[in-house]
Amino acid sequence: MQAFRWKVPLFILATIFFGLKTYLVYRFMLNLSIENPMQELILFLNPFVSAYLVFAISVWLKPHRQMKYLRWTALVGTMILYLNLVFYRNFTDFITIPVLFQGNNAADLGGSLLSLIHFQDIFIFIDVVIIWYLSKNMDSWSVNFSKAGKITVTAVTFLLMTTNVVLAEMERPMLFVRAFDREYLVKNIGIFNYHLYDATMHTKTKAQRVFADGSEISEVENYIRENTESDQKSDLFGVAEGKNVIFVSVESMQNFVLDAKINGKEVTPFMNDLKERKDTIFFPNFYHQTAQGKTSDSEFIVENSLYPLPRGAVYFTHAANEYNSLPEILNENNYYTSVYHANNKSFWNRDVMYDNLGYDKFFDEKSFEETEENTFGWGLEDKAFFEQSIKYLKDQKQPFYSKFITLTHHFPFELPEDKSNLDLYDSNSRTLNHYFPTARYTDEALEKFFQNLKDAGLYEDSIIVLMGDHYGISDYHNAAMSQFLGKEIDGYQHVQNQRVPFMIHIPGYDQGKTYDKIAGQVDVKPTLLHLLGIPAENDLTFGTDLFTEDRKKFIAMRDGSFVSDKYVYKNEVCYDRQTGEEVSDTEAESCLAVKKKVDKELSLSDSLIYGDLFRFYNFDQGEKQSEKETTVSDK
């Protein structure tokens, strides 16, 4: 045993332990998908490459410092791995640097965070304990290589890295250029190299505003004029002119609950009825388009008809930018604008962002009375939230635009037994099992809210918009979702699962119907302005009014997937939108032509935000500002 110790330095053992552990986490805890033997090889190789890269640095240190370095590096690396695992269980995504700046949100996670920690996670820390124990015997495990030996060890590092990158590029050409999907990056270069890449991208994007100039806004303007802008006005233009707008962002509500039953009972009986009524316009093929910002991304998209960022949340990273938001436009048309949300005002940096977007008032948690009886999960229950909001709503100057953000139907979907009117679902996913009772509770709260509006005399003079903000059930629960839906969750079905409720209820309107056209959150702003009869000729948006026939034929997702009239695209596979089958090679060319437009549109939206390009644009005149105007606005 003594001879073995001298032959195998601790940095090599640490590489083996840590690499093997990381591979097992990738394969069996993150459940990263493997499509071919090359992907399996790369997934197995990159944990050892990353571990060797870090632990081999120890050979340049003195023996007593080597052991200390290996101990703490193993611990820090394990914590990074574990935090990504916990994050992935909720968001099916990996941590980015902008997400770390949202750390004040963690204080509000509470039970959500605890539900993401599993007993078997202790396995992840076993090698840290072993390395910590062995490192105490410095003489047995340290090395004292010559300078040539140290250089050789380091050279092996670069050889391994080069091999990893070459294999990754062979498996997925232009991997670092088409980096919408962070899972592909992690599978190909490892979670630690991914974080280095993320840090590089963060530095690059932070510099974009500094070097941006007015010429870039012209490219965005030309694209929008050619692809999304329309002079058409449908018969619904101005149908809600002068009416109040009550916009309800329904937390985590997805379309698969509509018309669904658990043990013979409807999950959402009120919404099921509402979408069929003659005074409701319903879009069954409406997709959320959020990314890491989740609810805040949903708000940002609706308010600005721009896409969220691929990393972090715009509400945090670019809250000081210039925007031409929906609240601002409505303010200019004599609307009073407000937000109701019974949560900490700083969560998602809302207090700062709302002020910049032009909201007149934010009714946060301090505006509501919370008790032990009406508070659970993430805070004030939806029924009490709506009921307590009415007194404020009645006192607002009319017409008003008021946004309500619900809380009860929020992960981890906690609901006291005495408040539940629906059985739990029976699957291997606790999250999915509890999803349905909270969905039912929120549906009941919405029904009661409609009655509250009628009792307050606000119903007839308002239009009420219901929209799911983002998914509630992530890919982590695909096995249970497959059981519920009775079908495999492939790329096609994953995209279809991103549909969320979107219905516009107009009291007194008797020509409501179901519109089967594809739609997304980016279309909400121009659609609402159209209904209110407010022209927006000088606006720059990537969405289009949903009642106009002259509109683009695709809906882009933040990860680069899309839905068009003919195709659904996900993970480099094109599916027929009607059948769900993969298309032929001939048809794939047409599908990929749409993909180019999607990538272009996402890229232009990113450049708008990263470069704060709206500071170069005069929305009153619909043209680029002069240098003098830009200088004044920057000040």
Q: Which two tokens stand for residue 106?
A: 């963690």
The dihedral formed by the CA atoms of 248, 253, 255 and 258, expressed in degrees to the nearest 10: -80
Residue 316 and residue 349 in contact, taking contact as beta carbons nearer than 8 Å: yes
Q: How far apart are CA 545 and CA 535, in angstroms?
A: 11
Q: Which two tokens stand for residue 79?
A: 């914590």
CA atoms within 13 A on the CB side of 135: 25
Cβ atoms within 10 A of the Cβ of 370, count?
Answer: 16
Q: Which two tokens stand for residue 489?
A: 């969750």
Burial (0-12, 13-18, 19+ Cβ within 10 Å), 526: buried
- In sequence order, what are the residues at sequence separation of 6 or more whose Cβ sits closer than 8 angstroms to the Cβ of residue 248? 403, 404, 406, 446, 449, 464, 465, 466, 467
Q: How far apart are CA 212 and CA 322, in angstroms?
A: 14
Q: How far apart are CA 22 and CA 384, in angstroms?
A: 46
Q: How far apart are CA 307 and CA 183, in angstroms?
A: 20
Q: Residue holding tokens 């920057």? A: 634
Q: How far apart are CA 299 and CA 405, in angstroms?
A: 10
Q: Omega of the bond prior to 399 within 30 degrees of 0, cis?
A: yes
Q: How far apart are CA 400 and CA 459, in angstroms?
A: 13
For residue 159, give the nearest of 42, 53, 20, 55 by alpha carbon: 53
Beta bridge partners of 404: 248, 340
Going by their DSSP bridges, the two strands 519-520 and 361-363 should be labelled as unpaired
Which DSSP letter does residue 507 get? T
* SS3 call for 416: coil
| H/E segment holding residue 38 | helix 37-55
Q: Which two tokens stand for residue 143?
A: 């090395």
| H/E segment holding residue 73 | helix 63-91
Ramachandran sector of residue 572 (left: φ over 0; alpha: ψ -120 to 50; beta: rest): left
Burial (0-12, 13-18, 19+ Cβ within 10 Å), 310: buried
> CA distances (Å), 357 to each of 42, 320, 322, in order?
45, 9, 9
Q: How far apart are CA 122 and CA 57, in angstroms?
A: 27
Q: Which amino acid, residue 51?
A: A
Q: How far apart are CA 343 and CA 392, in angstroms?
A: 16
Alpha-carbon Rg of the chain, whole angstroms? Answer: 27
Q: Which residues are catalytic?
A: 295
| H/E segment holding residue 504 | strand 502-505
Q: For 165-284, list the strands marked E by DSSP.
A: 244-250, 261-262, 265-266, 280-282
Q: Which two tokens stand for residue 469?
A: 């903000």
